[in-house]
Amino acid sequence: MNEGEIIKYLRNRFGNKIRRTDICRDRRFYINVDSDCLKDVCKVIFRDLDARFITSIGVDERQYNGGFLVAHNFAFDSWKLLCSLQTNVDGDSPSVQSITDIVPASNWAEREFRDLLGIEPVGHIYPKRLVLPDGWPDGVYPLRKDFPYDSVPEGFDENRSFKFDDAPPGCVVVPFGPFHPTLDEPAHFRLYVEGEMVRGCEYRGFMAHRGIEKLGESVLTYNEIPMAAERICGICGCVHNVAYAQAVENAVGIMPPPRSEYIRTIMLELERLHSHLLWVGLACHISGFDTLFMHCFRIREPVMWIAEKISGNRKTYALCLIGGVRWDITEELNQELREVIGKLETSWREVVKAVEKDSNLQKRTRGVGIADKKLVKESALLGPVARAAGVPIDSRRDHPYAAYNRVEFDVVVSDFCDVWGRLIVRMYEVFESIKIIRQCLQKIEPGSIQATITDEIPVGRFGMSSVEAPRGECHHFVITGENNRPRRWRVRAPTYQNLQGVPTMIKDQQLADMTLALASIDPCFSCTDRLETVDIKTGKVRVYSAKELETLFLWR
């Protein structure tokens, strides 16, 4: 089906409840519906038409039309389409029908717009605070336009603690995090354990929400945001950089020059290489295979060096401007990059052979962290987690961007559904990235690396961009605005969805496998300013405040 056929199908089902439809370039389309039929339309899209849920977005539009906007974004991967299903919400008492009983993957996104905008998802299956700090006062919504970006709300209580659910009968609580030796960043999984088996868990994150989206609509300009976007993730920075730029370009019809699209593709694949090499090395380290861990990092280092030669930095490339890129790839860099990936390919084949033949590594990873096709669908799991369950989704192929429609590559899949499968997928994706870079270096066209933009960016245009990060699809949604910045910018990173599958992946598995199962999604967390301690003698639980932590760990 194409966009027109989907819209016709929905009009036949819902008639004048479909208020407005817009079909845009790049196979994106937008549908605005009456709020009382939003849930029913979602059900048809997600269940009957088998679309994949991406994310939900809340927008404060009171100063423009007196109300709010709620959007549920979906992907029709087999038809290469992206859809944003939207409804207008009352400005005085904003509420919308929750879709969580139909689309479980919308759980966090709906709780997020409830926390940040005060839009109530009526009928939500688990309406608990998600993003806001524990002591944030009720009734204060930081993503509303009338809330200053640099304000601390009156009534903020730093001693207020988060209330976790009670443990199931027969289970004890084992706190995994927020600080843990195997986590590079803080995250809190409250595990409910019976004997050695995990029977459930509750996640508490967002402990130091950085407000990057708020800065994007309050302070930063269109061409400053890519640098902030790059800092959303410590590994997938270029992905966010490109995804944001493409969302704005998609909204207003800007066409980057072909050479810049090839450069974006090359840099994205370099990022995929160093991310996968890092992850496989860490997987070997967690499993006790430190020899391969060191080999992976040795092989990875030349990738970082060549990235620094191209952009001036090993990791944050500052690559994109709206309409193109900052950095060119000279003929000398082209040749050097060919040599780097040639040596990498030879060395990586030896690593793959060693991993595949290691029986201890297989015993440690097979049957651990199960995520099957049903969980992938219900929780909208992404990237290697989905592909290791035999679900061949990949935005590079399904929703081509940059130069991906001009190169050939395979989408690597496995049907193991476990940590071993995710290891296999990542190892073989390295070869596909090498294949893509080689084609780009051969096909790259001469010419400009930046489009000429003479007019101001129009206001009120919608844009969507999905970019395949090493961890999975990264999605950016933009509404263009005044003052040379977006009116709304929404980011959904892959870890945001994949974390929602972790409780099911570890349920009824051994506590010792928690680390591997969690690491297999390659999670990315923000910082935290709290920790929970358990006195092993008395079992007493205590949460320290930020001031107490400052006092305890203040070094003079």
Q: What is the structure's pLDDT at 161?
A: 82
CATH code, domain carrying 135: 3.30.460.80
**Same structural domain for residues 282 and 420?**
yes
CATH code, domain carrying 381: 1.10.645.10
Asked whether residue 551 is assigned to any structural domain, the reply reads no
Which pLDDT tens digit goes with each residue over 399-439?
A: 999 999 999 999 999 999 999 999 999 999 999 999 999 99
Q: How confident is the model at residue 184 (pLDDT cuts 50, 70, 90)?
A: low
Q: Which residue has the higher pLDDT, 315 or 527?
A: 315
Instruction: Compute how many other C-beta atoms are within 10 angstroms of the C-beta atom of residue 373.
Output: 14
Instruction: Compute how many other C-beta atoms are within 10 angstroms of the C-beta atom of residue 24.
Output: 18
Q: Which residue has the higher pLDDT, 11 or 158?
A: 11
CA distance 195 to 192: 10
Helical (H) or strand (E) element with 244: helix 237-252
**Same structural domain for residues 317 and 418?**
yes
**Same structural domain for residues 149 and 272?**
no
Q: What is the structure's pLDDT at 180?
A: 60
> Measured between alpha carbons, how far is residue 152 from residues 55, 94, 146, 327, 507 in Å?
28, 24, 13, 39, 39
Asked whether residue 484 is assigned to any structural domain, the reply reads no
Q: Is the pLDDT of residue 197 over 70?
A: yes
Instruction: Compute how many other C-beta atoms are within 10 angstroms of the C-beta atom of residue 169.
Output: 7
**Same structural domain for residues 154 and 52?**
yes
Which pLDDT tens digit goes with each residue over 475-494?
A: 999 999 999 999 999 999 99
Asked whether residue 72 is assigned to any structural domain, the reply reads yes
Q: What is the average pLDDT across 349-374?
A: 94
Q: What is the structure's pLDDT at 533?
A: 36
Percent of all residues in the chain with a pLDDT value above 90, rounded to a whole number: 81
Q: How confident is the model at residue 278 (pLDDT cuts 50, 70, 90)?
A: very high
CA distance 175 to 192: 9
Q: What is the structure's pLDDT at 105?
A: 98
Q: Indicate the number of domains in the chain.
A: 2
Q: What is the structure's pLDDT at 112?
A: 96
CA distance 212 to 469: 19
Q: What is the structure's pLDDT at 186?
A: 72
Which pLDDT tens digit goes with each residue over 115-158?
A: 999 999 999 999 999 998 888 999 999 999 999 998 889 998 88
Q: Is the pLDDT of residue 177 over 80?
A: no
Pairing of strands 197-204, 320-321: unpaired
Angle of helix 258-286 relative to helix 290-311, nearest 10 degrees, comes to 160
Q: Which residue has the higher pLDDT, 533 or 327?
A: 327
CA-angle at 502, arms to 524 and 52, nearest 5°: 85
Q: Is the pLDDT of residue 386 over 50?
A: yes
Q: Which two tokens stand for residue 230?
A: 């790059």
Q: Is the pLDDT of residue 552 over 50?
A: no
Asked whether residue 156 is assigned to any structural domain, the reply reads yes
Q: What is the structure's pLDDT at 259?
A: 98
Domain boundary (417, 440, 455) is at 455
**Which residues constitute the domain of residue 135?**
3-163
Asked whether residue 265 is assigned to any structural domain, the reply reads yes
The answer to whether the CB of 137 falls within 8 A of the CB of 153 is yes
Asked whether residue 320 is assigned to any structural domain, the reply reads yes
**Same structural domain for residues 371 and 260?**
yes
Instruction: Compute how many other C-beta atoms are within 10 angstroms of the C-beta atom of residue 309.
Output: 16
Q: Is the pLDDT of residue 527 over 50?
A: no
**Same structural domain for residues 151 and 298?**
no
Domain boundary (399, 422, 455) is at 455
Q: How confident is the model at residue 382 (pLDDT cuts 50, 70, 90)?
A: very high
Which pLDDT tens digit goes with each residue over 218-250?
A: 999 999 999 999 989 888 899 999 999 999 999
Task: Find all residues with CB under 8 Å of 445, minimum gap 6, and list them.
Answer: 258, 259, 262
Give the lowest-confidence range in 57-66, 91-100, 196-205, 256-265.
Answer: 196-205
CA distance 248 to 246: 5
Asked whether residue 40 is assigned to any structural domain, the reply reads yes
> Measured between alpha carbons, how far is residue 84 from residues 60, 247, 267, 321 in Å?
17, 13, 29, 25
> Measured between alpha carbons, how far is residue 74 from residues 475, 489, 541 in Å?
11, 17, 42
CA distance 115 to 141: 7
CA distance 307 to 22: 40
**Same structural domain for residues 154 and 263?**
no
> Measured between alpha carbons, how far is residue 178 from residues 188, 364, 503, 522 in Å?
4, 25, 16, 16
Q: What is the structure's pLDDT at 379?
A: 97
Domain boundary (144, 163, 182) is at 163
Following DSSP, what letter does each residue of 318-366 receive, concatenated? Answer: --EETTEES----HHHHHHHHHHHHHHHHHHHHHHHHHHH-HHHHHHHT
CA distance 348 to 298: 11
The upper half-sphere exposure of residue 152, i.e. CA atoms within 13 Å in the direction of its Cβ, equals 5
Q: Is the dihedral of CA 343, 346, 349, 355 positive or negative?
A: negative
CA distance 37 to 284: 50
CA distance 453 to 323: 8
Percent of all residues in the chain with a pLDDT value above 70, rounded to a whole number: 93
Q: How confident is the model at residue 182 (pLDDT cuts 50, 70, 90)?
A: low
Q: How confident is the model at residue 545 (pLDDT cuts 50, 70, 90)?
A: low
Q: Is the pLDDT of residue 528 over 50?
A: no
| Peptide bond connecting 226 to the previous residue in cis, omega within 30 degrees of 0 | no
Phi-psi region of 15 (alpha: psi -120 to 50; beta: other; left: phi over 0): left
**Same structural domain for residues 280 and 394?**
yes
Query: CB burial class (10 A; 0-12, 13-18, 19+) of residue 411?
Result: middle
**Same structural domain for residues 284 and 426?**
yes
Q: Is the pLDDT of residue 450 over 70?
A: yes
Asked whether residue 374 is assigned to any structural domain, the reply reads yes
Q: What is the average pLDDT across 98-105?
A: 98
CA distance 204 to 526: 11
**Same structural domain for residues 440 and 304?**
yes
